[in-house]
Amino acid sequence: MLSPEELVGGLQEVLETQEVNWQRVLSFVSALVVCFPEAQQLLKDWVARLMAQAFESCQLDNMVTVFLVVRQAALEGPSAFQSYADWFKASFGSARGYHGCSKKALVFLFKFLSDLVPFESPRYLQVHILHPPLVPSKYRSLLTDYISLAKTRLADLKVSIENMGLYEDLSSAGDITEPHSQALQDVEKAIMVFEHTGKIPVTVMEASIFRRPYYMSHFLPALLTPRVLPKVPDSRVAFIESLKRADKIPRSLYSTYCQACSTAEAKPEDAALGVRADPSCAEEPLGQLKAALEELRASMTNPSQHDVISAQVAVISERLRAALGHSEDDSGVEIAKIQLSIDAPRLEPREHTAVDLLLTSFCQNLMTASSVAPPERQGPWATLFMRITCGCALPAVLTRLCQLLRHQGPSLSAPHILGLGALAVHLGESRSALPEVDVGPPAATVYLPVPELFEKLLTCRTRDSLLFCLKFCTAAISYSLCKFPSQSLGILCSYLSSGLIKKFQFLVLRLFPEARQPLSQENAANLSWRPLYLPSTDWQRAALSLWTHRAFRELLKEEDVQLTYRDWLHLELEIRPEVDALSDTERQDFHQWAIHEHFLPEPSASGGCDGDLETACTILVNVLMDFHQSSRIYDRSENSDLVFGGHTGNEDIISRLQEMAADLELQQDPSVPPGHAPSQGHFLYGIFRRRLQALISGWGVAASLQRQRELLMYKRILLRLPSSILCGSSFQAQQPITARCEQFFHLVNSEMRNICPQGGALTQDITAHFFRGLLNASLRSRDPSLMVDLMLAECQMKCPLILTSALLWWPSLEPVLLCQWRRRCQSPLPRELQRLREGRQFASDFLSPDATPQAPNPAWLSAAALYFAIQQVGEENFRTQLKKLDCEREELLVFLFFFSLMGLLSSHLTPNSALGPLKALDVCAAVLECLEKRKISWLALFQLTESDTRLGRLLLHVAPDQHTRLLPFAFYSLLSTFHEDTAMREEAFLSVAVDMYLKLVQLFVAGDTSTVSPPAGRGLELQGQGNPVDLITKARLFLLQLIPQCPKKNYSHITELLADRGHCDPELSIALRSGQQAAPGADLYREPHLF
């Protein structure tokens, strides 16, 4: 007897021949899987190899073979072979499927499946629709086209997907079971599963949500067949009660079932005959509403019958109220505002069904009426119908419109789009009588009129949404112009929102290049409604016809509906290029035309830029930043930290900004001699300044985060533009600091300093960008080295943060600068750049075991370099090498202590700082110990002012404002390291300590110390070091012990401190005043015992 392997091999050999008797081959397959259980896996492996070959070289014969063999084997049942549905899901339902390797494979698969549609059994079409292949979003149209084709075929075969059973065997090739018979089978299987698990089957729960028509119309009536209930509840009773507790059975239907069961108990003979509950009982109001709507539709053959239609609409209104479960008392209740969640609109099942009946009827009525007469001669039926929705049904109607237009728009058919577009017009017609709508973020606390709601519901992001938005706008605007030909343009504008008309202009210009040509009066066309309601609607033709229509051209002269440059940018920024209707090249061409040929030359009164390129750039930058802010706040679907606005759509607009900025550089005033920089600054800094002035100031969390987000956006824009914007294009020896440099320095000193993640240094990207610009501008001068030296010397005075940033990033910055310099100059790096290199080298040598280097000047730069190097070494190594500080200049130690204080605060403010809080505190303590050992005064670091030219002006331009405000926290974090004689030796110690304490209390009261509190889980690690309450308690105790011991000379500034802030701690104030009066003289000084 042949083994299964030999049989499968023989099958393979037969199928490789040119002519095959398929009847015998398929019989052989059936016998093989039935007789040999182990043949199932062999057959799967062989099929998998055939599939791989088929998709590798698009071999149609292999595909045909695979599908025939699998379907035949599946017919033998799950014991012999997996079901066809399971095989199809396993093969194509994941990213690892055979079709996922390329677009070519996808096209091959859907071409094959589409060719099978005319010959397919409904069972297989249902499998393909319910378990479709997984397709990348950018090729989604291939799948939707196939599903539409398959659904059309099922409709031709009069097979409904909605009526499919829950446990129906999709792999069998038999006839489709009647819904009622299938529902009875589903009920039995569901009860069987319930008996084994004690839980409602997942299939039933899913059907109650996703397949509600079948669940309500077939499954529940079959389950709730009236009967004489057993005295001991059986599985069916328990199952029904479980569904009731889960709110999966409508109360009215359950009540009807219980009543019918009671009747069955009274009349057992009826129960023996199998009397069933009428499914329509539960949906009686809906059935009555549907009947009334069908009567109205019959009247649409003569839509001008005002009396008849008016009476029918009145009946519909009453039945709609009943279907929604509203009482007659509710009809007089006026809705003030409507709350609508556009991101997640929800409706109760009853409301969902009733509103769908209403909207479907309106769409059908419009198509029927349009086949008889154009809109202007259809009478007032649509207005009367719309008034139904203006009552109690309006919130439900708007919610359903949100679901359809915002979330399901591309799947709507042409009649739906036309009907909903017309409904939007009639809702706008009654805008004064309708309540406003609150749609929530991003329009929080802003109430919109109903016409403007439609603008919010229509998105323009992907190819599908662009095309749907074009269709809807075309339908709505065309209907309004045809329906109200004699109305003034102002009234028409009130019926439709200006945003909807602007979106139509945007889409026509974007999608149809022929619309970009100037339109002469001779080209103006007449508008006809007829092409829109024909079965084969040509939307491009309809849109272009509307675009050239005389009335529409007149409408565009209204100021409110003109598409401005700002509007265009907002809409273009929404586009996601990976799923755009335009290719990359087409999109770039459209941008170039829109900016340079359309909006730039247009007058500002028409939404243009008056030919001013700087104005165009200014508007673009403002719109870009506004868009970025709103996307960061409200866009929850994508990572907006990576690129502007949360998705790469902005990258193309940024490219246009780069091009325009380059053009502006070339438009430099010709009166300026070559190689000399213009005196005026750059327009970007003016934009930044105005936007910052408009922000809320203060230290609140919300204000700080908003300002930080704004500044990060400024930085990203600067990084995308030429580095000359930071420094200027060239320098002059007489005035090395250009206007642009001054602007950039001001931005750094006043704002960017406060968003430094590393206290005392800008980020690497903006630092490198500045130095690239510095070298570029210097290399255009006669003496590049001199220009660099002059510029960096000015930086020491005006913007020292740039130099500390260069020190921090020097290891990665130096190779870039060397390469850029040596391309143009053979001389060594300029002296000031070498000074930065020497500072880093000093820091590296200092931390090496053997070297004892001397710190180069200036001391503050060497101190900064040393601190940045300390951040990168281990604690033990640092402790060993810090003894060398005894030989360093006093000035270096003071500056090093300041930078270590900044590091201590950064370790608390920034979770992922280079030094942890404990190590940062240890560094501070070690430096302070060295200062105390050499009796070097360090108290001035806690009293910095701008007027102090030696320390204050320099260090305050390096440290972020938040760090300087939190210096009291740093001061008392070092309390345990203060030397005993410091308080007595330094006259200013007491006043500084009191000042720091009072400021610390004020910070705590204002809630500002919460930023340095240890996060949950780190309390044990920090051992109380970061707890502001403990710190204040220890500081207070320290002062109360110190005050009696201080000589009178130490109280010199106490009176002024208490006058301003003595109320912060009354007990301490009393102690200070008492100590001031009883302070011992210098000759009575006694050694205090404080520690």
Taking only the tens place, the pLDDT of each residue in 476-518 is 999 999 888 877 777 888 888 899 999 999 999 999 999 998 8
The pair of structure tokens assigned to 514 is: 């022929």
The backbone torsions φ and ψ at residue 1037, rounded to the nearest 5 degrees and listed phi first, read -60, -40
C-alpha distances in Å from residue 313, one per residue of 191, 289, 290, 309, 380: 44, 11, 12, 6, 11
Q: Which residues contact 823 (CB under 8 A, 6 or more apart)?
A: none
**368 vs 298: CA distance, rounded Å:** 9
Q: Which residues contact 1016 (CB under 8 A, 6 or more apart)?
A: none
**431 vs 425: CA distance, rounded Å:** 10
Q: Determine contact, residues 815/807, Cβ cutoff 8 Å.
A: no
DSSP for 438-476 reads E--TTSTT-EE-HHHHHHHH---SSHHHHHHHHHHHHHH
Question: Nearest Cα to 427, choosing from 476, 499, 472, 373?
Answer: 476
Average pLDDT on 934-942 reads: 87
Which of residues 331 and 486 earns the better pLDDT score?
486
Q: Determine contact, residues 161/151, Cβ cutoff 8 Å.
A: yes
Q: Are strands 436-438 and 447-448 parallel, antiparallel or unpaired?
A: antiparallel
In this predicted structure, what is the pLDDT of residue 477? 93
179 has pLDDT over 60:
no
Q: Determine contact, residues 228/271, Cβ cutoff 8 Å.
A: yes
**233 vs 249: CA distance, rounded Å:** 18
In this predicted structure, what is the pLDDT of residue 535? 56
Average pLDDT on 657-677 reads: 67
642 has pLDDT over 90:
no
Question: Nearest Cα to 976, choosing from 902, 1015, 1031?
Answer: 1031
**561 vs 558: CA distance, rounded Å:** 6
Any idea which of 54-68, 187-201, 676-690 has the lowest mean pLDDT?
A: 676-690
Q: Determine contact, residues 124/71, Cβ cutoff 8 Å.
A: yes
Q: Are strands 337-339 and 436-438 parallel, antiparallel or unpaired?
A: parallel
534 has pLDDT over 80:
no
**316 vs 328: CA distance, rounded Å:** 14
Which of residues 266 and 595 earns the better pLDDT score?
595
C-alpha distances in Å from residue 951, one per residue of 259, 575, 895, 964: 91, 51, 9, 13
Task: Kindly report, residue by residue over 843-899, the tens digit of the pLDDT.
Answer: 888 887 776 777 888 889 999 999 988 887 755 566 667 777 666 678 888 999 999
Average pLDDT, the chain: 82
In this predicted structure, what is the pLDDT of residue 616? 95
**864 vs 500: CA distance, rounded Å:** 58
**996 vs 1053: CA distance, rounded Å:** 13
Task: pLDDT band for 420, please (50, 70, 90 cuts).
Answer: very high
Average pLDDT on 748-759 reads: 85
Enumerate the β-bridge partners of residue 761.
758
Question: Nearest Cα to 369, choosing from 274, 458, 280, 479?
Answer: 479
Task: pLDDT band for 416, please (50, 70, 90 cuts).
Answer: very high
**747 vs 763: CA distance, rounded Å:** 14
C-alpha distances in Å from residue 775, one per residue of 730, 744, 800: 10, 16, 18
Count CB-CB contacts under 10 A for residue 889.
16
Strand, helix or coil at 38? coil
Question: Nearest Cα to 138, choosing from 584, 594, 455?
Answer: 584
434 has pLDDT over 60:
yes
Which of residues 625 and 728 earns the better pLDDT score?
625
**273 vs 369: CA distance, rounded Å:** 48
Average pLDDT on 256-266 reads: 79
Q: How far apart are the first and last CA of the chain?
A: 99
Any idea which of 206-220, 708-722, 1074-1088 has the lowest mean pLDDT?
A: 1074-1088
939 has pLDDT over 50:
yes
Task: Kindly report, residue by residue over 1005-1060, the tens digit of the pLDDT.
Answer: 877 776 666 544 444 344 445 578 888 889 889 888 888 888 878 787 788 888 87
Percentage with pLDDT > 70 across the chain: 84
The backbone torsions φ and ψ at residue 436, rounded to the nearest 5 degrees and listed phi first, read -80, 165
Q: Which residues contact 398 (CB under 8 A, 6 or more apart)?
A: 338, 340, 437, 450, 453
Write the DSSP symbol of residue 437.
E
Average pLDDT on 52-74 reads: 89
Peptide bond into 858 cis (omega under 30): yes
- Per this entry, what is the length of the chain? 1091
Q: Determine contact, residues 727/774, Cβ cutoff 8 Å.
A: yes
The amino acid occupying position 389 is T
**845 vs 853: CA distance, rounded Å:** 6
In this predicted structure, what is the pLDDT of residue 327? 64
Average pLDDT on 543-550 reads: 90
In this predicted structure, what is the pLDDT of residue 608? 92
DSSP for 648-665 reads THHHHHHHHHHHHHHHHH
Strand, helix or coil at 549? strand
40 has pLDDT over 70:
yes
In this predicted structure, what is the pLDDT of residue 329? 52
In this predicted structure, what is the pLDDT of residue 731? 67
H or E element that contains 63: helix 60-74
Question: Nearest Cα to 1071, choosing from 1009, 972, 993?
Answer: 993
531 has pLDDT over 70:
no
Average pLDDT on 86-103 reads: 82
Task: Kindly report, residue by residue over 393-407, the tens digit of the pLDDT.
Answer: 889 999 999 999 999
Any idea which of 113-127, 261-275, 729-743 has the lowest mean pLDDT?
A: 261-275
Write the DSSP symbol of residue 1083.
G
**Cα within 13 Å of Cα(329), Cβ side:** 0
Peptide bond into 37 cis (omega under 30): no
Dihedral angle computed from the Cα positions of residues 950, 952, 958 and 959, in that order, rounded to the nearest 10 degrees? 150
Q: Tell me the angle at which helices 394-402 and 349-372 cross, rounded to the nearest 10 degrees.
A: 80
Task: Kindly report, residue by residue over 789-846, the tens digit of the pLDDT.
Answer: 988 988 988 899 999 999 999 999 999 999 999 888 888 889 999 999 999 998 888 8
Question: Nearest Cα to 997, choosing from 1028, 980, 972?
Answer: 972
Q: Which residues contact 646 (CB under 8 A, 6 or more apart)?
A: 631, 632, 635, 637, 638, 639, 640
Q: Determine contact, residues 292/361, Cβ cutoff 8 Å.
A: no
Task: Kindly report, residue by residue over 550-589, the tens digit of the pLDDT.
Answer: 888 888 888 889 999 999 999 999 999 888 999 999 999 9
Q: Determine contact, residues 935/985, Cβ cutoff 8 Å.
A: yes
Q: Determine contact, residues 955/901, Cβ cutoff 8 Å.
A: no
Strand, helix or coil at 339? strand
Any idea which of 17-21, 38-42, 406-410, 1012-1016 has the lowest mean pLDDT?
A: 1012-1016
Task: Kindly report, residue by residue over 350-408, the tens digit of the pLDDT.
Answer: 889 999 999 999 999 988 888 888 888 888 888 888 877 677 788 999 999 999 999 99
Q: Determine contact, residues 731/790, Cβ cutoff 8 Å.
A: yes
**446 vs 909: CA distance, rounded Å:** 36
Dihedral angle computed from the Cα positions of residues 845, 850, 856 and 859, in that order, rounded to the nearest 10 degrees? 90
In this predicted structure, what is the pLDDT of residue 165? 64
286 has pLDDT over 60:
yes
Which bin fits 979, alpha (ψ -120 to 50), beta or left (φ > 0)? beta
228 has pLDDT over 80:
yes
In this predicted structure, what is the pLDDT of residue 57? 85
The pair of structure tokens assigned to 548 is: 């050239």
Any idea which of 419-423, 711-715, 753-757 has the lowest mean pLDDT?
A: 753-757
Task: pLDDT band for 126, please (50, 70, 90 cuts).
Answer: confident
In this predicted structure, what is the pLDDT of residue 1016? 45
H or E element that contains 436: strand 436-438
